[in-house]
Each structure stands twice: as structure tokens, then as C-alpha cells.
Structure 1
Amino acid sequence: MNLSESGNLTLDDISGHPGLSPTDSKMLSLLVAGVTDKAIASQMNLSRRNVQRRIRSLMERAGVGTRMQLAWQAARRGWLRRETPPEEPFSARLTSSASSARSGESF
């Protein structure tokens, strides 16, 4: 974060991927998904302390003070990557189902 001349706080905008290691990238994805430090450590074969250190480092890199802010900044800055294509939005499925029901199609 920076303090602008007008006294407002602004967020630094780092374009694109910050060059995260594959380990940090996966860890960040798990963190954003709500996985606990203990589970991340177990899944990635790391110590819980190592996971905590790496998350703290990512927080410093993003210039944030909480994990929630880290998740928000990671999404905002494009640090998260999708490994699978996004699903059709639920609302679109509802609309599709409703039109199928009106046309007499069965589910």
C-alpha cells in the first residue's frame, strides 16, 4: 500500500504473475480454498511452520496484513490460476432447467 499525495491509501498494482514458485502457487491456491495450515503441510509434505513462513512471505510481498487480504490481492493481481475450466454458472443452469421444463423435457 502507498499513501497518495492526497492522503488516500492506494494499493500497488503488480501486473501479471509475480513469479511465484510452483510450491507457493499451490500453497496460495489451497489457502484461498480454505484449507488449514496443517492440511496444506500434510498435502504438500512440508512442516506446518514452513507453510506459515511461506504464507507470511506472500503476505509481505502483497503488502497486506491478513490472510483474507492476501486472498483478495492474489485474486485481484492474477496470482491464482485455474487448473480446470470454470463451471457453467449456477444461475445459467437454473435458467436452462427452467426452459427445459417449460418445453416439456424431462430431467
Structure 2
Amino acid sequence: MSSPSRTEAKKDQFIGNVKNTAGSAVGNESLQAKGQAQNSAGNAQETAANVQGYLSGVSDQVAGSVKGAYNALTGDTAAQMENKAQAKKGEAQKAYNS
């Protein structure tokens, strides 16, 4: 199974809406139902992509914080700064995916 993609999710949502609208306009219930299903699949994929991105952010934030604390104890200030950047990256990922 491939990773969820926001781009594919948005595409499915858009195409699903078009099919739903077109099916509704011409009275084609089958096309309308296919559009609703495709839109729902896009919504689910977008949610999965957001969850995956959030969890990736949590991982980066925790790893950066733990490594940074270790480097602070050992006096490795260069590595400590890199780890702070990783922790900030994780915070940004979490915020973007919330």
C-alpha cells in the first residue's frame, strides 16, 4: 500500500464532486453515487495523510529533543543545534497536519 497523498486526495475530492454534480444535474444516480464515493475516498485519504504527517512530526520533535538533551549533557553544541532544528521541524509538521 502506498503512502497517502494530499494531492491525490484533492484530485479525488474534486473529480468526485464533478461527477456528483453532473450526475445530479442529468438525473444519473449511478454517476452521482460514484462521485460521492470518490469524494469520500479522497476525504479519507486526506485524513490519512494528515495523520501520517502529524505522527512524523511527533517523531522528529521527540527525537530532536532527546538527542538535543543528550548533546547538551555531553557539551556537543553543534549537534545540539542540529537537534533543536529537528525538534522545531517536528513542531512545524505537527502544526501543518493538525
Q: Considering the TM-score relative to the shorter chain, is it more than 0.5?
A: no
Give the TM-score taking structure 1 as reference length. 0.26
Give the TM-score taking structure 2 as reference length. 0.28
Between structure 1 and structure 2, the one with the greater Rg is: 2
